[in-house]
Every structure is written in structure tokens, then in C-alpha cells.
Amino acid sequence: MEQVHELESAILERANRLAVEYRERAGRSRDNILQEAHKRLHLREEREVLLAKSKAERTFRRQVQAHELKLQKEMDHLRWNLVMTVKNQLRERTRALVEDEKTYLPLLRSLMISAARDFERQKLVASFNSRDLSRVQPIWDEFTRSDAADKQIILNTTPITCAGGVIISSEDGLIRFDNSFEGREERLADRLHQLILERLFPAGTLQDNLSSMR
């Protein structure tokens, strides 16, 4: 009977030790699992943060590029409006100039002579608008004297449509030099545009303005 009791006690003690051992193992396993899960969660969070950061940077770059394009478009529109404003002011001054005969007629004669000199032909035709035609017709001989002595310039009595200036052509009309205000503006358009931009926006100013607005 005593031996049976000792055996039961030994079994219970052994069972207790095994239970403690398994509990400790389970605890260590649980800690390992939790630690591994924490590491995986941390890595996942890092990846998500990196992905979110990368996405945010791409979104920011797109927004910046879109903003720059918008600013560039607005600056181009502003520049165009300023250039057109200056050109319109020049046309207004031109209209005022043609009303001042004392200043305008010498200029008109200079435009005619300079155009005539570009022709090899000796016999040429000068065409004016109706206003200028009525001005030069009474003084035509004097108007064509001396500076173009090697050219015979005939006055076309049919007026043309232009703001001012003159069109010189060969007698047969096959060759012509448009020295009207419109013709000169068309020929000088690129240079005039560049000159206005240089005056309105000195070197680097336009780009500096754009950069400062970013």
C-alpha cells in the first residue's frame, strides 16, 4: 500500500514538472510568435510608410509640374497681352503721326525714296492711300525731286488701302516693295516682338518671376 502511494506521488510530481515545463515552453513559443509577428508588422508598416511616402512624392511632383505649367501659361498670356498693348500703342502713335503733315510728309517721302532705291528698274509707280494721295498729288514734282534723280517715279492716282506709307512697284506691277505701315510692321514683326520683350522683360526677368512664384 505504501509503495502504491509513493508511485502515485512520483507520477503526480512528474506530471507537475512536465506541466510546468510545457507551460514554460508555451510561454517561450508565445513570446517568439509575438516577437516575430511584431517584426513582420513593423516591416509591413515600414513598407506601407515607404509606399505612402513614394506615392505622396509622386503626387507632389505632379502637382508642382501642373502648377508650373499653369504659371507658365499665365505668364505667356500676360506677356502676349503686354506685347499686344505696346503694339496697339504704337499704332495709335502712328495714327497721330500721319495727322501732323509737317512731320509725316518728310517721313513718307523717305519711305518712298528708300523703297525706290532697292529697284534696278528706272521707271516705278508709287501708290498711296486716299489721304496721302490728296497730300502728295499737288506737290508731286517737288516730292520726287533730287534724292531719286536716277528714278522716274509715277504717281498712281488709284488709292490703296493702308494706314500710311507707300507701295513702290515696277511699271508692269510684277515687282513691288511694300513700305506701307502694315508692310513694314509685317517685315519687322519678329524684331519688333523681340525688342518689345527685351524692354518689358530684361534678360532673365520673366524666368525669375516664374521661379519666384513657385
Average pLDDT score over residue span 141-158 = 84
Distance CA 125, CA 170 (A): 6
Highest mean pLDDT among 14-23, 29-38, 154-163: 154-163
Tell me the pLDDT band of 158, cut-offs 50, 70 and 90. Answer: very high
Q: What is the average pLDDT value for the chain, to the nearest integer?
A: 81
Average pLDDT score over residue span 154-177 = 94
Tell me the pLDDT band of 39, cut-offs 50, 70 and 90. Answer: confident
Tell me the pLDDT band of 203, cut-offs 50, 70 and 90. Answer: low
pTM, to two decimals: 0.59
